[in-house]
Each structure stands twice: as C-alpha cells, then as structure tokens.
Amino acid sequence: MLWMMERAGRKNSQNVGFQLWQQDNHPIELFDLKILHQKLDYIHYNPVIAGMVANPEDYLYSSARDYYGLPGLIDIMLVEPLIQ
C-alpha cells in the first residue's frame, strides 16, 4: 500500500511525499435505500478493484465483513437489506 500512496503523492503537486486521502469530494445525498446500497457496494469493492484483496469481506478494515457475518474491527449499524 505504501507504493500506492507514494505514487498518488507524486501525481499531486501540493504534496511532499505521500497521499492517502483524495483532496476533493463530491457529496451525494443518500435519499433512498437503492442509492445507499449502491454507494455501500462501491465502498466495499474499492479494495477488490485496487487489487488488495480478492473479496470485499477479506479486507480487514471494511464493514463488508459485518455484512458477511464475520467479525469487524468496530461495531456498526447494518443497513436494512434492499428488497427488489
């Protein structure tokens, strides 16, 4: 992960060294369960897309573990399932 933070830091002229967080954001109102689940899936699959883990629940720092019935690192409130 360190090499990824270093690469991100080199791409941003405002950094000296490493970058962990994006410096901008685009807030989205979570106005219904469909949007909420879409964003939750996006967050859970980020480590998979980055190649850090094979499955969302494998990432130790993810709430995806709680949704798969595995112990998470912190207590969370699960979002109700999306009924389709």
Question: Which residues span the domain enclosing 70?
Answer: 29-84
CA–CA separation, 59 and 84 (whole Å):
27
Mean pLDDT for 28-41 is 92
Asked if residue 24 is part of any domain, the answer here is no
Is residue 15 a part of any domain in this protein? no
pLDDT (average), residues 11-27:
75
- Give the residue, 53 or 5, on which the prediction is more confident: 53
Query: 47 lies in a domain?
Result: yes
Does 11 reside within a domain?
Answer: no
**Residue 16 resides in a domain:** no
Give DSSP secondary structure letters for 40-53: HHHHHHHHHHTTS-
The answer to whether residue 71 sits within a structural domain is: yes
How far is the first Cα of the chain from the last one, in angstroms, to the nearest whole number?
37
Per-residue pLDDT tens digits for 45-73: 999 999 999 999 999 999 999 999 999 99
Residue 23 located in a structural domain: no
Task: Confirm whether 10 is domain-assigned.
Answer: no
Q: How many structural domains does the chain have?
A: 1
Alpha carbon distance 30, 39 (integer Å): 8
